[in-house]
Structure 1
Amino acid sequence: MSVSPHHPGAAAPHQPDNHNLYAGPPPWDIGRPQPTFQALADAGAVHGRVLDVGCGTGEHALMAARLGLDATGIDLAPRALELAAKKAEERGLTARFLRHDARLLADLGETFDVLLASLVLHGFRGQDREAFVKSLHAAVRPGGRCFLLCFRDEPLPTSGSTHRVAPQEVRTAFADGWRIDTIDAATIDSALPVRPEGIRGWRAALTRI
């Protein structure tokens, strides 16, 4: 059984709640974990207390819950959290879903062993990206791991530069307080019919120091 409370003061006042993103299935909601994150779980890299940052409808938190782990997902979209809680109930899994800003994870007052952030980093620029990285650092215990999945720095079917991330951007953003273990090529599965073979991306593995 899952719970989906609204965390007090979770959303920043100027942040939209992104509710309309889930009026219909968005292209990143594939109904299962991203294969590159599932591979981490299969290899035992997902363990302990797990936080799915920007969880959407909860597939990565539920992946952790399926392993019997203490799983939490946070997002700002109420509809996504409702769908995540429904999935957990239907699958007989226990996970916690909170409405919370990814830039304010310190406000949770908790630390986790593993953070998973799928297709979140590209949504932040400038000071917001700095706040997001500091927020991740505050939420993971020393020696804990953070795994990021990003679109590669090349044109996408939807166009626009917002969704492109170069490896050097990851290295620059996480230069302080982190050890960058790997930045590997990865395939991002999508519901977009124009890319049934998936979209090229990067998976970064980081350790908090």
Structure 2
Amino acid sequence: MDVQDVDFEELYQGTTPMGRKMPWDIGAPQPAVVALADAGEFTGDVLDIGCGLGDNSAFLASRGLHVTGLDGAPSALEQARARAAEKGLDIEFAVADATKLEGHEGRFDTVLDSALYHCLSEDERHQYLAALTRATRPGARLHLFAFSPQVPDAFPAPYLISEANLRETVGKDWTIERLEPTVYTTSMTPEELKQSVRQLLNVDPAGLDRLDTDADGRVLVPVWQLKATRR
């Protein structure tokens, strides 16, 4: 899937053939993010970059953390604010260009990238990491999830990210402490995912059969889980 053809604003407005059933909208924080929080991996001022509908932001704020959620799609942030308000949470949500992060210099102690990195081109990834370095304090922690090459060809993934790519790009200004495979929970059952692939991409979804599901029948997608510290 060519991410350059994806209009995320239209996706969040529900005006695409996908409607409002987006694979990443599980209506709750990612289980992997919950596990990180349980392990005390989020401290200080937290940036949820590419926050989308804000469920990870809301979860972290409910743990007493000061969270800022940034995204490029105004409609996503409008819905994120509404979801946070329903939970009685006061979270700063704002539109931002992840490759620049102007006005956010030196602010954050922890960064969560829950599936933004793999939506960026190679040049944009380098600009993005440079922006994260500017936006964080020395010693800041980065938690990043990105699609790995283990994702089947039929899955609508923007880019599949190699281990070498992460080590080179993130490793420039950050010390990688952990880089290992894990899974990312989607909102779709196998049949829903296959139907979406047929409708949107017009390709044979047979390769999706090898993806695992969780206890609720939701498809699990292979991703890298990276933890790094800013030097």
Q: Is the TM-score greater than 0.5?
A: yes
- The TM-score, its normalising length taken from structure 2, stands at 0.79
Kindly indicate whether residue 20 of structure 2 is the aligned counterpart of residue 20 of structure 1. no
Deviates more, 1:45-54 or 1:24-33: 24-33
Deviations 1:22-57 (A, max 9, x none): 111311111111111111111111111000000000
Pair 158,66 (structure 1): closer, same or farther in 2 beyond 3 Å: farther
Q: Secondary structure at the match of 1:39?
A: helix
* 1:110-129 aligned within 5 A: 110-129=106-125
* 1:131-146 aligned within 5 A: 131-146=127-142
Q: What is the Cα deviation at residue 161 of structure 1?
A: 6.5
Unaligned 5+ segments in structure 1 are 1-15
Match of 1:32 in 2: 28
Overall identity of the aligned pairs, in %: 34
**1:82 aligned to which of 70, 78, 103:** 78
Equivalent residue letter for 1:114: T
C-alpha distance in structure 2 between counterparts of 1:181 and 1:155, whole Å: 24
Deviations 1:79-106 (A, max 9, x none): 1101110011100111110011111114
Pair 208,81 (structure 1): closer, same or farther in 2 beyond 3 Å: same
Match of 1:60 in 2: 56
**1:199 aligned to which of 217, 221, 225:** 221
C-alpha distance in structure 2 between counterparts of 1:87 and 1:161, whole Å: 26
Match of 1:208 in 2: 230
Deviates more, 1:153-162 or 1:165-174: 153-162
Over the aligned positions, Cα root-mean-square deviation in angstroms equals 2.1
Q: Secondary structure at the match of 1:137?
A: helix
Pair 206,100 (structure 1): closer, same or farther in 2 beyond 3 Å: same
Pair 71,160 (structure 1): closer, same or farther in 2 beyond 3 Å: closer
| Alignment length (residue pairs) | 196
Pair 88,159 (structure 1): closer, same or farther in 2 beyond 3 Å: closer
Unaligned 5+ segments in structure 2 are 1-5, 15-19, 191-212
Q: Secondary structure at the match of 1:154?
A: coil
Kindly indicate whether residue 68 of structure 2 is the aligned counterpart of residue 72 of structure 1. yes
Q: Secondary structure at the match of 2:166?
A: helix
Kindly indicate whether residue 216 of structure 2 is the aligned counterpart of residue 187 of structure 1. no
Q: Secondary structure at the match of 2:103?
A: helix
Match of 2:166 in 1: 170
Equivalent residue letter for 2:80: A
Deviates more, 1:173-182 or 1:18-27: 18-27
8 Å CA contact retained: 1:17, 1:78: no
C-alpha distance in structure 2 between counterparts of 1:157 and 1:112, whole Å: 36
| Larger CA Rg, structure 1 vs 2 | 2
8 Å CA contact retained: 1:64, 1:71: yes
